[in-house]
Structure 1
Amino acid sequence: MFKKTASILLAITLCVTALTACSQQDTGQSAVFTADSPNQDTPLQQGSHYPLNLIIYDNKGNKLQQTIEKEPERIVVIGQGLAELMIHFGEENRIVGLAYLDNSYSKYEDQIKQLPLLTEMWPSKESIIALKPDLIVAMSSAFTDERLGNISFWNERGISVLTGINYTVGRTVDSFFDDINNLGMALNIEEKTNAFVEEQQTRIKSIQDKAAQVTEKPRVLLFAGGQNDTYYYYGPTLCLIDEMVEGAGGEYIKVSEDTYVEMSAESILAVNPDKIIMTEFQKSDSATAKDLLLNNPGLKNVAAIKSGNVIIVDYTNAIRGSLDLADLYEDVAEFVHPELFKGE
């Protein structure tokens, strides 16, 4: 996992190229270029969209340039969150195979059940090849020797790959939106995806602008609920909610340089947060989870427990983001600074 830095975000770029009719050779093959390959930036032909070049990342964080020769009609999707994006934008009819579901609640659950399921876990190469896809949309972690093989394996068979940036280079709000923008370009639905991203970013900027006036920043600790008084801390590179806390005028407590560590009741008391955010899966009993946390005798001397400053949020949205990202950002803002955001 790479550290979240501004330089990484700036490195996530998109470039669109169109070859002239006299030089274009329609082989049906998806060419892969390394980041060091010569740039092919040429003006887009009037009314054309493909061939399209996109910068993606492999599982090791290396940049690759994928060429999508024509508009994808047969898409295999690996990962429930990526399938939800396609459903939201009305493109589920292109999905010919779906795999690797996370089995958490989704508001698109009924639509997901209607999709052609390969397997709930990692599919075999053979099962994907049999579907004759022209594009695979997946998290970058799918492309390892133990799973689907490397990206070049698919390119050699004329199949392009679109990997989720947000699963590779450190999870950030910007890279979540970059994934949506990339999908919009790959499927030629930019009007839909641009409108969604613009609406979300406008709401987020409104929060950040208002939070800029705060002088005191409450210290906020995030952890996932566990068993037997054990909780699990997520570092900034493993989640999105750290940006929401700081964008809303709070201080996200950094417990460790590690991205994921266990926390006992004693270690929570040691950092003594002003406020606590605990993640639970969608449609869980948040009221019960909050009550158990507030009444944990091992935490009774923690400042956030004493004041009742505890909120339970959806795990998926807090950790990897979802189509309701701006909703959670607004909830976090109201929790961190209720005097500024109450009722918004």
Structure 2
Amino acid sequence: MLAAAILALLGGLSGCASSSSTSSASASDRPGEAGGGSTGDGASAACPATADLTEAPKRVVTLDAGAAAFLIALGLGDRIVGTAAPEFKDDFSGAMRKKLDALPVLSDKVANKESVIAARPDLVTGISRYELGTFDGTPTEKQLKENGIAAMVACDTAEGLSTNIDATYRYITRLAEVFRVQAKGKALIADMQREVTALTASARKGPDAVPVLSLSAAPTGGTGINTSGGSSHANGVITLAGGRNVAASTLGDFATLSAEEATRSNPKVILAVTGFSRQSGRQLVDAIKSSPLLADTDAVKNGRVVAIPQSILLSPSVLGVRAVRTVAEAVEDAS
């Protein structure tokens, strides 16, 4: 799975960090970003945030089913000639799920360069910069360009502290521009923003915000507990929902806390981030509640450990409103 691949590469939100992992990666440390000049919104030389095309793409390969969902939501599903990482569709239902199920699957895991190029797309797009060239066999922007294929991804990591899900809106805007469907893009964004505003109207801010910790595995000891950093998309969701990420001071996608720091931060809510293992949401929640390292936290003592899919918390998603709602409800319950 794409999620598992990213987790293995970056340490993810797993329960234990290696002895050399003491902080989250800085912008220059992140895969694919070394030497990349930033555009100010998370984009860099290795994170193509838009594609320069003379006409709207007719054939598109999505690097994950999450990106495919954005295209379908914009009425562009008929342009998709294949997708990788189909597990991202697992969080959808109804008509959207049926449309995602009908897409040709080029790879059950991360995209394979050969199969992507063989599909003859005009455009390749995905919801994470890590999908281009980070893993062995995945296409780089340069390789795609050499084959006459444009590339663009959602550059979702903020330069500083992430406090919203604007990366989602930027990705929609750029897709709509590339496909010349700007009105549909604006309508989709307006719908999402309207729902988010209603959910967060009374959200706590600043020192009143509820401390939140996100984990994709129950900590079992070792030198650290990996969680989402302050520049992550998850930090934006948590902040919007009235929470305060206990690791927000460490800028980057990921951060590492010692067991003592995690206990001292005393999260009132723990987000059990699913999709990184075969554990169900219920199993992950139970494992986190059973961890001795978290037994003294308010979240565990009061049973406020909530499952949330990684595909909607850690990256831009059509289901971004659902992510905000899930966290907002947990935060409100803990207030």
User: 1:148 offset after TM fit, Å?
Assistant: 5.1
1:242 and 2:267 correspond? no
Q: Is the 8 A contact 1:75 1:136 kept in 2?
A: yes
Cα distance per residue 1:17-61 (max 9 Å; x no partner)? xxxxxxxxxxxxxxxxxxxxxxxxxxxxxxxxxxxxxxx6442x5
1:238-277 map, 5 Å = 238=232, 240-254=233-247, 257=250, 259-261=253-255, 266-277=260-271
Q: In structure 2, what is the equivalent of residue 304 of structure 1? A: 299
Residue-pair matches, total: 291
* Residues 147 and 217 of structure 1: CA distance in aligned 2, closer, same or farther (over 3 Å): same
User: 1:339 offset after TM fit, Å?
Assistant: 8.7
Q: Distance in 2 between matches of 1:143 and 1:152?
A: 10
Q: Is the 8 A contact 2:235 2:248 kept in 1?
A: no
Q: Is the 8 A contact 2:64 2:88 kept in 1?
A: no
Q: In structure 2, what is the equivalent of residue 194 of structure 1? A: 186
User: 1:113 offset after TM fit, Å?
Assistant: 3.6
Q: Distance in 1 between matches of 2:207 and 2:146?
A: 56
* Residues 185 and 228 of structure 1: CA distance in aligned 2, closer, same or farther (over 3 Å): same
The structure with higher relative contact order (CA 8 Å, sep 6+) is 2
* Residues 193 and 292 of structure 1: CA distance in aligned 2, closer, same or farther (over 3 Å): same
Task: Output the amino acid matched with 2:326.
Answer: D
Cα distance per residue 1:285-326 (max 9 Å; x no partner)? 444443443344443322332233332222221111422211
CA RMSD between the two structures: 3.8
1:191-230 map, 5 Å = 191-211=183-203, 216-226=208-218, 228=220
User: 1:179 offset after TM fit, Å?
Assistant: 0.8
Q: In structure 2, what is the equivalent of residue 141 of structure 1? A: 130
Q: Is the 8 A contact 1:140 1:168 kept in 2?
A: no
Q: Distance in 1 between matches of 2:59 and 2:144?
A: 14
3-state SS of 2:156 partner: helix
Q: Is the 8 A contact 2:227 2:247 kept in 1?
A: no
Q: Distance in 1 between matches of 2:50 and 2:210?
A: 43
Q: Which runs of 5 or more residues in structure 2 are unaligned?
A: 1-25, 29-36
Q: In structure 1, what is the equivalent of residue 27 of structure 2? A: 2
Q: In structure 2, what is the equivalent of residue 128 of structure 1? A: 116
Task: Output the amino acid matched with 1:279.
Answer: V
Q: Distance in 1 between matches of 2:293 and 2:286?
A: 14
Q: In structure 1, what is the equivalent of residue 155 of structure 2? A: 165
* Residues 161 and 298 of structure 1: CA distance in aligned 2, closer, same or farther (over 3 Å): closer
Cα distance per residue 1:163-185 (max 9 Å; x no partner)? 22226868761112111111112
Q: Distance in 1 between matches of 2:218 and 2:235?
A: 20
Q: In structure 1, what is the equivalent of residue 5 of structure 2? A: none
3-state SS of 2:27 partner: coil
User: 1:284 offset after TM fit, Å?
Assistant: 6.5
Q: Is the 8 A contact 2:66 2:311 kept in 1?
A: no
User: 1:261 offset after TM fit, Å?
Assistant: 5.0
User: 1:162 offset after TM fit, Å?
Assistant: 2.2
Query: Max radius of gyration: which structure?
Result: 1
Q: In structure 2, what is the equivalent of residue 29 of structure 1? A: none
3-state SS of 1:317 partner: helix
- The structure whose residues are more often strand, as a share, is 1
Task: Output the amino acid matched with 1:306.
Answer: K
Cα distance per residue 1:90-146 (max 9 Å; x no partner)? 322211232244467232554334222222245554443433322222343344395
1:281 and 2:269 correspond? no
1:185 to 177, 188, 192: 177
Q: In structure 2, what is the equivalent of residue 325 of structure 1? A: 320
1:114 to 93, 102, 106: 102
Q: In structure 2, what is the equivalent of residue 36 of structure 1? A: none
Q: Is the 8 A contact 2:203 2:242 kept in 1?
A: yes
Q: Is the 8 A contact 1:76 1:136 kept in 2?
A: yes
Q: Distance in 1 between matches of 2:91 and 2:329?
A: 24
Q: Which runs of 5 or more residues in structure 1 are unaligned?
A: 14-55
1:151 and 2:141 correspond? yes
User: 1:85 offset after TM fit, Å?
Assistant: 1.6
Using structure 1 for the length normalisation, give the TM-score. Answer: 0.68
User: 1:12 offset after TM fit, Å?
Assistant: 4.3
Q: Is the 8 A contact 2:51 2:178 kept in 1?
A: no
User: 1:68 offset after TM fit, Å?
Assistant: 1.0
Using structure 2 for the length normalisation, give the TM-score. Answer: 0.70
